[in-house]
Structure 1
Amino acid sequence: MKKTSSQILVIDDQEDILFASKMVLKKHFETIFTLNDPKKVIHLLSENEIDVVLLDMNYRIGFEEGREGIYLLKEIKTFSPKTVVILMTAFGKVETAVEGLKLGAFDYILKPWDNDKLVSIVKSAVDESRKVKKKASTEEKKNTVFIGNSPNIQKAYSLAEKVARTDANVLILGENGTGKFVLAQYIHQNSNRKEQPFIHVDLGSLNDNIFESELFGYAKGAFTDAKIDTPGRFELAQNGTIFLDEIGNVPLHLQAKLLQVIQNKSVTRLGEAKPRQLNVRIITATNIDLKSEVHHKNFREDLYYRINTMEIVLPPLRERKSDIIPLAQFLLENILEKYERSEIVFEDKALEQMQKHFWNGNIREMENRIERAVILCENNVITISDLDLDTISIAEETNEDKQLMDIEKATIEKVLQKYNYNISKSADELGLSRASLYRRMEKFELK
């Protein structure tokens, strides 16, 4: 019988389970790895292209709630999204397995298993793995980064291509929705680290209580819920790239700890004393004016210079007028592929209005509006109404810069009045940070 070409990993703390599963599976699949220490899974995944993981839900006697398995599932899916995971659990613990399915597991099998059932589930998982990889490969070819022809965006990507070949730290600046994440991925994919992990961390979503444990990891027993030794995001990015998004939102007292890791190229897990060496490329991004934040003592100057070996500024969409229609067509093609639809087009008036629109949310706003329009449009034609564009447009004037400033002022004033000058709500709708909105209010004398 010809074996299926695939690599299977079985993780369980019981040696008899590992032995039995290997005996069954090696008759049908080419390569079987077994692992009795769940702490080593990320290292093994980094060195082998594993197609399917069979993951036990419990690793300590007396603890049968399956939380360790759920945690490991999240780690595996974060580190290697293309790897298909099958959960293994005892009868009576199906609820936890179902929770795992919601978090991205492919299926689950009850222990003790029926051998034929085990082989059947693993074969299905291997088929799923092939589908996932084929889809990812197709999307990678299809979703070629849209750069555009505007001089300012061409300059940004030219810088990115040059710096990608080095290990220099990169700071990406730009308003919300300008494509900072896409540019960070572009740098990684054009670097010598492209085969290694790319770990994205939204620093703006980490509160003070979990900042250190998420980024730096923790030892078992470091705090109440620290059930097993756990690597942080920096360790997960070892030999690859870590993208620290929204770095301008990190509070001052945590900036010092982040600086220490970047400066020493090492990380110390909570509850440990010995530092672990890092080989990680660091890319950061923010929509905040960090120079101004440094000047106002809200951002550490030494950290600013550590992350800013190379600074790349992404222009807002309103400064890329010649790219708006080609970008809209590019996004439409990708969205039609996603919904498995075709032959939907923009009406000419819709394209004209898109050219005039201010695009406060930049590319993200455009993508959201086009996706909404694809769902709503009739007769396969996207109209102005489908796009739900506002009526603010750019009138033809000789002084374009002054005109843009006037429109920006009018837009900000309109939103401020809408929310009765509630800064948080206004900033959120405008796609700005509070600090950026305050600076614009001061600039336009909107007090």
Structure 2
Amino acid sequence: MKKIQANIVVIDDQEDILFAAKMLLKKHFETIITLNNPKDSIKVLSENKIDVVLLDMNYRIGYEDGKEGIYFLKEILLLSPATKVVLMTAFGHVETAVEALKLGAFDYILKPWDNSKLVEVVKKGVTQSRKEVKSTVSQSVNNFFIGQSNAIVKAYDLAQKVAKTDANILILGENGTGKYVLAHYIHQQSNRKDQAFIHVDLGSLNENIFESELFGYAKGAFTDAKNDTAGRFELAENGTIFLDEIGNVPLTLQAKLLQAIQTKTITRLGEAKPRKLNVRIIAATNLDLKTEVQHKNFREDLFYRLNTMQITLPSLRERSDDLVDLANFLLEKLSAKYDKYNLLFDEKALAQIKKHAWFGNIREMENRIERAVILCENESITVADLDLESIEVFETEKDEIQLSDIEKISIEKVLQKHQFNISKSAEELGLSRAALYRRMEKYQIKND
């Protein structure tokens, strides 16, 4: 039997599971990589094109809620969107696996698995991964800079100029404007392009694991520290580390981050000797860090360490002339994903795209267009398919209503539509849950 030329990664903390999976899959696929720690997948995915990842959902004794599996599912999809993730779980945790499917997992397999079923699912994953790789954002990153508006051209030109340097970069912009995409583009254009690009969502890191995740730990440093483990900074050695949501780092932890950046060293938990680093740092936030510094929420010395070069990504409200071109690009990409070709927006749909506020920016636009591609029943995308509650920002006099008022109205309408379900509302708005909570606090929106 001829093997399929594909790279498969299996991640589980039980050696017998890894052995059994490898013995089965190596009969059908060319390369099988086994890992007992999901953190190691970040480096593997950075250095290799992986078709399918088989990912267990639980890794620590006493923690059976699947949260670790969900966390690393998101990390894998961010780092390699074309990679298909198949979850491995016990019968009692099917609900968690089903929830993960909504977040982008390709499929799930119950333990103990049926051999033929497992091979079939992995084969389907490989086929789907190959189909999507051409349209994956990480493979054609500069396509998100479609348009000729002054703001996006300025950001794109500046990114090209600083890419070849090792200067620290701070990317500013609202949620959904493409900060991750820009950071990845800069890495791809740099002299470090053949090394790892490590993404860290600082907004999702609990304070208790902040140090161990970023700086690593020695065996025995705490109860579950069974092995010496490198942190994200070490995984990015000779490459680039992208510190996303840098504005959300608590003040108490900013000093530790500053020390690592200043000294270009890290010290693992449980060790005394610092380790030297050769890492390019790109940070991003949707907050106004100068204001945060003034309010004593962000260290001024850390701000200046990160802000050697600053690039601001414009919101879609500042790119009205680019909306149609960007929407058509996303439509082409998503049509290919779902094998629906020759789709076009009808005139009313294009008019609504031009008028909509797009407070979730590109993320919201992609979400709405993907929904439309799935629902449309012919070759024309209609207003109903898009399901946009349009607020005609560009036809409103600035003196009558401020953009902040429009944003508040838009958020309130979506929250009411979903009966204040934060997950569903955030998805429709193209925001993260944390970003939606921040806006609700900012505008004092409450579920009365």
Q: TM-score, normalised by structure 1?
A: 0.71
In structure 2, C-alpha distance between the alignment counterparts of 1:94 and 1:433, rounded to whole Å = 34
Matched with 1:224 is 223
Matched with 1:132 is 129
In structure 2, C-alpha distance between the alignment counterparts of 1:109 and 1:206, rounded to whole Å = 29
Measured after TM superposition, the shift of residue 52 of structure 1 is 8.8
Please give the per-residue CA displacement for 1:69-121, whole angstroms capped at 9, x wherever unaligned. x98x9599588888899999xxxx9999999998889979989xxxxx89x98
Measured after TM superposition, the shift of residue 220 of structure 1 is 1.8
Change (3 A) 1:430 1:407: farther
Matched with 1:353 is 352
- Partners of 1:353 and 1:393 within 8 A in 2: no
Does residue 148 in structure 1 map to residue 147 in structure 2? yes
In structure 1, C-alpha distance between the alignment counterparts of 2:190 and 2:22, rounded to whole Å = 38
Change (3 A) 1:357 1:27: closer
Matched with 2:392 is 392
Counterpart secondary structure, 2:326: helix
Measured after TM superposition, the shift of residue 341 of structure 1 is 1.5
Matched with 2:180 is 181
Measured after TM superposition, the shift of residue 205 of structure 1 is 1.2
**Aligned residue type for 1:411:** I
1:411 to 401, 406, 410: 406
Measured after TM superposition, the shift of residue 326 of structure 1 is 1.0
In structure 2, C-alpha distance between the alignment counterparts of 1:233 and 1:81, rounded to whole Å = 20
Measured after TM superposition, the shift of residue 289 of structure 1 is 0.9
In structure 2, C-alpha distance between the alignment counterparts of 1:183 and 1:199, rounded to whole Å = 14
In structure 1, C-alpha distance between the alignment counterparts of 2:187 and 2:177, rounded to whole Å = 18
Please give the per-residue CA displacement for 1:353-373, whole angstroms capped at 9, x wherever unaligned. 322222222222222222233
Alignment of 1:235-314 (within 5 A): 235-314=234-313
- Partners of 1:7 and 1:31 within 8 A in 2: yes
Change (3 A) 1:49 1:277: farther
Counterpart secondary structure, 1:311: strand
Alignment of 1:183-222 (within 5 A): 183-222=182-221
Counterpart secondary structure, 1:145: helix
- Partners of 1:217 and 1:269 within 8 A in 2: yes
Measured after TM superposition, the shift of residue 216 of structure 1 is 1.1
Change (3 A) 1:346 1:257: same
In structure 1, C-alpha distance between the alignment counterparts of 2:160 and 2:440, rounded to whole Å = 32
Counterpart secondary structure, 1:229: coil
In structure 2, C-alpha distance between the alignment counterparts of 1:347 and 1:122, rounded to whole Å = 42
Seq. identity, %: 56
Please give the per-residue CA displacement for 1:150-195, whole angstroms capped at 9, x wherever unaligned. 0110010111111111111110001111111111111111112222
**Aligned residue type for 2:243:** L
**Aligned residue type for 2:401:** D
Counterpart secondary structure, 2:401: helix
**Aligned residue type for 1:354:** I
Counterpart secondary structure, 2:348: helix
In structure 1, C-alpha distance between the alignment counterparts of 2:241 and 2:228, rounded to whole Å = 21
In structure 1, C-alpha distance between the alignment counterparts of 2:124 and 2:155, rounded to whole Å = 40
Matched with 1:114 is none
Measured after TM superposition, the shift of residue 433 of structure 1 is 8.1
Higher Rg of the two aligned structures? 1
Alignment of 1:432-443 (within 5 A): none
Counterpart secondary structure, 1:293: helix
Counterpart secondary structure, 2:219: coil
In structure 2, C-alpha distance between the alignment counterparts of 1:50 and 1:298, rounded to whole Å = 40
Matched with 1:383 is 383
In structure 2, C-alpha distance between the alignment counterparts of 1:336 and 1:220, rounded to whole Å = 48
Measured after TM superposition, the shift of residue 310 of structure 1 is 0.7
Please give the per-residue CA displacement for 1:229-249, whole angstroms capped at 9, x wherever unaligned. 222111222222111111011
Please give the per-residue CA displacement for 1:195-245, whole angstroms capped at 9, x wherever unaligned. 222221111111211111111111222112222222211122222211111
In structure 2, C-alpha distance between the alignment counterparts of 1:66 and 1:385, rounded to whole Å = 39
**Aligned residue type for 1:187:** I
**Aligned residue type for 2:368:** R
- Partners of 1:172 and 1:313 within 8 A in 2: yes
Structure 2, unaligned stretches of length 5 or more?
Answer: 417-421
- Partners of 2:372 and 2:381 within 8 A in 1: no
**Aligned residue type for 1:205:** S
- Partners of 1:287 and 1:433 within 8 A in 2: no
Greater displacement, 266-275 / 133-142:
133-142
- Partners of 2:241 and 2:282 within 8 A in 1: yes
Change (3 A) 1:147 1:18: closer
Structure 1, unaligned stretches of length 5 or more?
Answer: 112-116, 398-402, 442-447
Does residue 342 in structure 1 map to residue 341 in structure 2? yes
In structure 2, C-alpha distance between the alignment counterparts of 1:356 and 1:49, rounded to whole Å = 40
Change (3 A) 1:10 1:190: same
Measured after TM superposition, the shift of residue 7 of structure 1 is 7.8
- Partners of 1:244 and 1:282 within 8 A in 2: yes
Change (3 A) 1:130 1:440: closer
RMSD, matched Cα: 5.2
In structure 1, C-alpha distance between the alignment counterparts of 2:436 and 2:94, rounded to whole Å = 40
- Partners of 1:216 and 1:270 within 8 A in 2: yes
- Partners of 2:42 and 2:76 within 8 A in 1: no
Change (3 A) 1:86 1:371: closer
Measured after TM superposition, the shift of residue 387 of structure 1 is 2.9
In structure 1, C-alpha distance between the alignment counterparts of 2:298 and 2:144, rounded to whole Å = 32
